[in-house]
Structure 1
Amino acid sequence: MIVGLPKEIKKQEYRVALTPAGCSMIVQQGYKVVVQQGAGEGSGFTDEDYGAAGATIVIEASEVWAAADMIVKVKEPLQEEFEYFREGQILFTYLHLAAVPELAKALTDKRVTAIAYETIQAPNGSLPLLTPMSEVAGRMSVQEGAKYLEAFQGGRGVLLGGVPGVPPAEVIIIGGGIVGTNAAKMALGLGADVVVLEKNGDRMRYLDDVFQGRLRTLMSNPHNIANAVRKADLLIGAVLVPGARAPRLVTEEMVKTMKKGAVIVDVAVDQGGSIETVDRATTHENPIYEKYGVIHYAVANMPGAVPRTSTLALTNVTIDYILQLAAKGFQDTVKSNSMLALGVNTYRGAITHPQVAEAVGLPYTPLEGLW
C-alpha cells in the first residue's frame, strides 16, 4: 500500500492530514508514504521532517495522486482535483458531501472509494474522527464571536464577561453535542451568561451535571429558539446530523428580531448551515458579512486557523484507521470494522450512505450489496 499526502489547496487551509510522526508509523509497518513538497509547512512541519520519517517527497500534487493507493486529506477535494480521481483509489478525508453534490457525482462517476471522517460512527452514536475538529471549532466559535462583538468590528461593543456592575453577554448555543459543549466551556470561562438549546433530555441532564448548573438548558423547539435568539449577543449554531444537511433551526424572521451588532457563528456551515441567513460560506480572509444589522461569521474550515493544534489532534484519531486500511486493504478492513463501514460514502460508483444519498439526490446502495 502506498499512502499519498497532498498539500491542501482550499483557500487559507493550513492543516495537513498526517504529521511526520504519523508518517513514521506507516513507514515502520512496511508501507510507503508519498508527500507533496510543502504539504506540512502551514502546520509547522518541514519537508525535512517528513523525509526523516521515511516519506518520499515529490513536487506536484499530480505525482502524489498518481502514485498512491490511498489519499489522505483534511478537506474535500476541490474542482481542480477531480481530474486526479481514478477507479478503486481510496480517498480518506472530511467530505461533507451534503453541501457539495457535484463532488459526490464526480466520486461516483470515477468509481472512487471515498471514506468520510465525519460519518465514521461508534455504536454509542459518537463520531470519533469528527470529535477533535468539533472540539476546536466549538472553542473557536466563542473566541471569534467575542472578537466580532467588538465595536470596531461592527459588533455591539459588548465584553462577554462584563465587569462588576455590568451584566455579561448572553451567549445562545443551539445544540449540546461536542461543538456546543466546547463552546459552552469557553463562554463560561470568559464569564458569559450561557444558554444551550438541545432536544435530547439525557444530554441536557449531562450538561447540567458537568457544568454544575452554571449554564441553563432549554428544550430545542421553535418557540424556545425564537425567544432565545431575540436575546442573544452571540448566537452559535452547533447542530449536526451525520451525513445529512444541517437542519435550518433559526429562521430569517428570527434573525430580524436580533439586537443590532449581535454576532452569529454557524459552525454547521460546512453542512449547509443551521441558520437561514447563513446563505454562503466565508473564508478566514473575509470571514464575516452583515445582514439585518447582525454580523454573520460563516467560515467553513474554522480549525484551519489553528493548524498546528488541529493537525496533531486529527492524526491522533485517524492513524489507526490508516494503518488498518494499509495492512488489510479496503474490503477486509471494512468487513471487520463496522464503525469504518459507516464512513464509506461512495464505492464502485454508488452512494453507500443513506443520509448522503438523500442529501445529494442520488440513489442509495447498501455497501453489503457491492461486495
Structure 2
Amino acid sequence: MSETGGAGAVARLRRLELLALALAKAGGFLNIGAGLLTDRAEMRSVPGCLCLAAGLLPTGVGVVVAGFRRGRVLPGWVTADILVTGVALALNAQLVRPGPQTGWAYFSYPYSLLSLVGVGMAYRRLAVTAAAAVALALVYLLSVWTVPGQGWNGVPNVVSYLGLTPLVWLVTHELDSNARTIDRERELSEDLARGQERTRYYRILHDRVLQTFEALLRDGLVTAGEPRSYLATEAAWLRHLVETGDERSSGDLLAALDSVAARMAHQGLKVEVNAAALTQGGSPHSRLERDQVAAVADAAAEALANTRKHAGVDRAVVRATVEGGCVLVSVTDAGRGFDPSALPRRSGLERSITQRLAEVGGTVLVDSAPGAGTCVRLAVLLKP
C-alpha cells in the first residue's frame, strides 16, 4: 500500500502530519522572532543571538520542504534538526545574561519543544522517540545549569520534553493505524465491487453471446467445416471463461501469438508469425508474467482485427524479439494505412491496445500513413 500517493486515508494523514510540522516550525520561528525583538536587554550578544537564530533556519525549513517533496515526515531530516536544536540550546544558554529569569532571550527552549512534534511523527518506534526526547531534555538541563542564577529553575521544564514527544507519537500512530484500516477496507470494498462487475459481465456473456454461439452450432445454422470448427473452439473458450474466470493463458508468448494467428486465419486474415528469437533456449521472454503475455497477445489480436477490418489486405506479419530487456512484438501490414494523429483521443486503438499494454507497464508505438501500411509496435519490460 502506498503511503505517499493517491487519495487514500494514509496519504491524507501524511499530508496532515506535514501541515502540523510546518505549523510547529512556524510557531518556533515566531518565538525566536519575539525573543530577538523584545528581550535584547537579556542578551549578552545580540549579533551572536542573530547568528544563532539564522543557524536554525536551514534544518528547520529543510525538514518541512523535504517532507512536502517526499510526501511524508523524513526521519533523517528530523534527526539533523534535533542535533542542530541541541547545539542551539547549549549556545543560547551562554548568550543570555545571568539571573533567575531569562525571558524570551532563551528562545531555543520553546523552539526545541515545538521541534519535538517532528520527532513524534518521524520515528516508528516509541523507544527511539523517547530516546530523542530524553537526549534533548538532558542537553537543555545541562545548558541552563551553566547559567548563573538558573540552577534548579530548569528542572520543571524537562517534564515538557518527556511528556510532549510520547503524546505526539501515540496520537500519530493511532491515527496511522486507523488510516491503514480504512484503506484496507476500501481496497476490499473495491475488490468486491470489481468481482461483482465481473460476475455481471460473465452473466451477460453467458446469456447472450455464449447461448447464441451454441444455438448456431446446435441448430445447424453453421455447417461449413472451417467456420463451424472455429465457432466451436471460440464457444468452448468462452464457456471455460464464464465458468472459471480463467482465460487459459499459459504464460507462453509464442504459443499465445500462434493461437492469435490461428484465430485470425479463421476470419480470413493470413498471419505470418516470425518469432525465431523466442524459440532459442534460455530466451529471457520466459520471464514474462501471465498477465503480460495475455496483454501482449490481446493487443496483437486487436491490431490484427483492425488490419482485417480497415487495411484492405488479407495478410499481416507478426514479429517478436527480445531487445534491451524488453520483449518487442510488431504487427505489420501493407494496407491503406491512416493518420494516427487524426484519431480521436478515446479511439478503439487507445482503449483496446494502448491502455491494455499500459496496465502491465508496456508501451505502444503506431507507425502509419495514408497509403503506406501500418506497423503497431508493442513493448513490455521483462521483470528482473
TM-score bucket of the superposed structures, by smaller chain = under 0.3
Q: RCO (CA 8 Å, sep 6+): is it higher in 1 or 2?
A: 1
Going by fraction, where is helix more abundant, 1 or 2?
Answer: 2
Q: Normalized per residue, which structure has more strand?
A: 1
- TM-score, L = length of structure 2: 0.24
TM-score normalised by L of structure 1: 0.24
